[in-house]
Amino acid sequence: MKTNISQSDWKNRAAEVLPAAGFGNFDPSLILREGKGSRIWDEDGKEYIDYLIGSGPMILGHGHPEVLDAVQEQLGKGMTFFTNNAAGIELAEVLVEAMACAEQVRYVSTGGEADMYAIRLARAFTGKDKILKFEGGYHGMSGEALMSLAPKTLVNFPQAVPDSAGIPESVRDNMLIAPFNDTDFVTSLVEEYAGEIACIIVEPLQRLIPPAPGFLQTLRDLATKHGIVLVFDEVVTGFRFAYGGAQEYYGVVPDLCTLGKIIGGGFPLAAIAGCSEIMAHFDKAVVGDKSFTFQVGTLSGNPVASVAGLKTLEILRQPSAYEEIKKNGERLMQSYATHLSAVGVPHQIVGEPMLFDVVFTEDPVRDYRDTLKNNAAQAKAFNASLRQSGILKPDSKLYAHLALSVEDLQQTDEAIATAARQL
């Protein structure tokens, strides 16, 4: 909706009714008005090339005409029902076909919900309580997830550090924290606590950090050996790294995965997917009262989100879709490397072509503590310069996507060159 109200006025209004003047997601000083393809506009009409893309869902760009047509058709039939609907069932079939670990699917509305229920499901299946996660790993907003996400105080592993007020001490007691990519440590930890661990939950690509060779397979082997549920949080990587997600891209299959972002085509939709033996704990008739994992949601499997997801995934199945995303990402990575190297700024390009960013350090980045070596002042100045040049990206990642044009990539290259020179 176009308005004649300025960004400044909207910010003042937001400050009156929103804590910290925002939704809690992104810089509240930026108030976006509309998006089309690879471009977005704020309330003052300033135009940006969008590498935030709604924090990942808009892999086709904004307002893709085929997705809009599918949504418009569904809107005429109904927006939500709280019952099964054909689009949701069809989408579940597509997800099961795509994801190697998936035999059944249960819908929720957000990725954080999916992660929370995956943890609960693992506890119901194993009868164990402890959860192993990796320092710096993001798995939503549950009490378990907000342990050692971004700890300001670094403590000895496997102690957990809460990232939020309001989390009971008892949650921390059931968490084990390990450094990402440290095969020896996680092996020792699992061997010590094997009889107590319900699940290992991991982002296959942790924020930006790729798994070291053999690391994910070690997790798979440990989980199999000790009867632990291995959960891949694929809310970000699902249908981004490959049509079959990170489990296809890296060649390791978990017991459960969580999905979100892309599967809703820009609408709120997420899912837990996995083997039927574990997913059966959502079915009281199969597992009985004591093992039943209760889950309902008003908008779970929403038909509008489902048709948007179905059309998005149909487009991603077209030949060369993922090759195009990867090619765009590789060109952007090369721009970063070329221009930062030209001015002698120490840096590491961290991630995969589909999702990456620069970390301003001379040292390799293998885990969360390595990211703390980032020169924060340089990163802030670099991102500010990019935004001034009409490039919008998150503070610590960049999403490549299908809507990018040659012109977009050239403009971005020039913006990166300018930002590098200013450093």
For residue 268, whether the previous peptide bond is cis, meaning omega lies within 30 degrees of 0, is: no
Which pLDDT belongs to residue 2? 53
CB hemisphere CA count around 145 (13 angstroms): 17
**φ, ψ for residue 177 (rounded to 5)?**
-115, 130
Q: Which helix (H) or strand (E) holds 188?
A: helix 183-193
pTM metric for this prediction: 0.96
Out of 233, 357, 367, 370, pick the active-site residue: 233
Supply angle C-alpha 140, 142, 146, rounded to 5: 75
Could you give the CA distance from residue 348 to residue 211 in angstroms, rounded to a whole number?
Answer: 16
Answer for the pair 136, 368: CB distance below 8 angstroms, yes or no.
yes
Which pLDDT belongs to residue 4? 80
Q: Is 152 a catalytic residue?
A: no
Q: What is the tens place of the pLDDT at every residue in 338-370? A: 999 999 999 999 999 999 999 999 999 999 999
302: left (phi over 0), alpha (psi -120 to 50) or beta: beta
Q: Beta strands 256-259 and 348-352: pairing type? A: unpaired
Which pLDDT belongs to residue 1? 46
Q: Is 129 a catalytic residue?
A: no
pLDDT per 10-residue tile (average), the chain, 423 residues? 80 95 93 97 97 97 98 96 96 98 98 98 98 98 96 95 95 97 98 97 97 98 98 98 98 98 98 98 96 96 98 97 98 98 97 98 97 96 97 96 98 98 95
Answer for the pair 216, 204: CB distance below 8 angstroms, yes or no.
yes
Give the domains, in start order, of the chain with CATH numbers.
7-63+319-422 (3.90.1150.10), 66-316 (3.40.640.10)
Residue linked to tokens 């840096």: 347
**Percent of the chain that is helix, strand, coil (3-state, to 5):** 40, 15, 40
Out of 130, 133, 261, 311, pick the active-site residue: 261
Q: Which of 349, 387, 292, 312 is nearest to 40 (CA)?
A: 387
Strand partners, 178: 134
Q: Which of 137, 141, 140, 139 is nearest to 150 (CA)?
A: 137
Q: Which of 123, 121, 132, 127 is nearest to 218 (CA)?
A: 132
> Which residues, at least 6 apart from 89, have a Cβ–Cβ distance to it below 8 Å?
none
Q: Is 133 a catalytic residue?
A: no
Q: What is the tens place of the pLDDT at every residue in 103-118? A: 999 999 999 999 999 9
